[in-house]
Amino acid sequence: MNNILISVVGPTAIGKTKLGILLANHFKTEIISADSRQFFKEMSIGTAVPDKEELTQAKHHFIQHKSINETYTVGDFEREATQKLTDLFKTHNIVIMVGGSGLYVNAVTDGLNSFPTVSPSVREELNSELSQFGIAALQQKLKELDPAYYSKVDINNPQRVIRALEVTIGSGTPYSSFINQPKKKRDFKVLTIGLKAERTMIYDRINKRVDLMIDAGLLDEAKKVYPFKHLNALQTVGYKELFQYFDDEWTLEFAISEIKKNTRRFAKRQLTWFSRNEHTMWVNYDYEPSKLYDKIDNEIQKLIHG
């Protein structure tokens, strides 16, 4: 149990990629990405995939290893990532994981909750309701059937709402009752490092990043995947707003402003999610690397000998 997974978390645009690379070089190890938006080959600019220079500075895994046309679930990621960790720990005592997708991070560190098998017809019916009546009808249904989960889920994410309703309706038991189950045993210990900044600073960094993405060619990237806009992988900020521009529903200026707004909302949800872990070691985004390394070394010794 002397193997340590250092998990770098925090809101989007705060500098997780940079810190991950610094730590990988310091500890002479490799990086596992737990950013579900960066799994797909066709999406680079809008998902802030590490650039070529960053990818050469440290070995990364689970970056653009799937196509948007492939089904890839958090369960698939948990299985593949834990197997990769088993392999990496044969030659490294420390491995770095970087990502802002809370569910995917938790899948590796704690394991996924177990849910009952539900008839596919339930999901089909819910998808039909979504098409006919929109997300508001499903939100109301979830509020009635499982108010506990409704109060904390991203109710504007149709996949999350449908999944919760699917389990609740199919099993006759609220979705919330299946979560927060005992953690799975892992053969490594986890040190979670959270990057933080003032809310205004985070939002400013987000706004600037979106402008840089537009300058880098996000519009052309979105046009290439536009024919596949119905796919699950593309129901994400930065693409779905531009799709509405392509559909002549929004102006480009408004679509870009919506990307910024929705990314800020996403960052707020990330902060809420990661703040739940009381063991996270929070550091400022403008940390001094040498001091941070000393602090991390001390925390690792506590984990090993504590």
What is the bridge-based pairing of β-strands 4-9 and 60-61? unpaired
pLDDT at 289 over 80: yes
For the record, the structure tokens of 263 come out as 């990314």
pTM: 0.84
Give the model's pLDDT for residue 140: 95
Read off the pLDDT of each residue in 138-153 and give the average, rounded to a whole number. 93
Residue 211, pLDDT score: 98
Compute the average pLDDT of residues 249-262.
98
Angle between helices 16-26 and 289-305 (to 10 degrees): 70
d(CA 184, CA 165): 25
- Would you say 242 and 219 are in contact if contact means Cβ atoms under 8 Å apart? yes
| Beta-strand pair 4-9/189-196 | parallel
Q: Quick check: do 4-113+181-305 and 120-178 share a fold?
A: no
Rounded Cα–Cα distance for residues 81 and 96 (Å): 12
The phi and psi torsions of 238 (rounded to 5 degrees) equal: 105, -25
pLDDT score of 132 more than 70: yes
Q: Binding site, residues?
A: 10-17
Beta-bridge mates of residue 8 = 98, 193
Domain range annotation of the chain: 4-113+181-305, 120-178
Is the pLDDT confidence value at 181 over 80? Answer: no
Query: And the tokens for 7?
Result: 């998990």
Pairing of strands 31-33, 281-284: unpaired
d(CA 206, CA 211): 9
Residue 304's contacts (CB-CB under 8 Å, 6 or more residues apart) are 1, 2, 4, 189
Domain 120-178: top CATH class: mainly alpha
Coil, strand or helix at 178: helix
Binding-site members for substrate are 12-17
The predicted-structure confidence for 266-283, as pLDDT tens digits, reads as follows 999 999 999 989 999 999
CA distances from 262 to 123, 152, 156 (A): 26, 17, 11
Query: pLDDT (tens digit, 9 = 90+) per residue, 2-59?
Result: 999 999 999 999 999 999 999 999 999 999 999 999 999 999 999 999 999 999 999 9
Confidence at residue 184, expressed as pLDDT on a 0 to 100 scale: 82
Residues of each annotated binding site for ATP: 10-17
**81-86 long-range Cβ contacts below 8 angstroms, 24+ apart:** 81/32, 81/34, 81/107, 81/108, 82/108, 82/186, 84/32, 85/5, 85/32, 85/188, 86/187
Q: Which pLDDT belongs to residue 232?
A: 85
pLDDT band at 117; cut points 50, 70, 90: confident
Between 112 and 212, the higher pLDDT residue: 212
pLDDT, residue 1, reads 65
CATH number of 4-113+181-305: 3.40.50.300
Element (H, E) at 60: strand 60-61
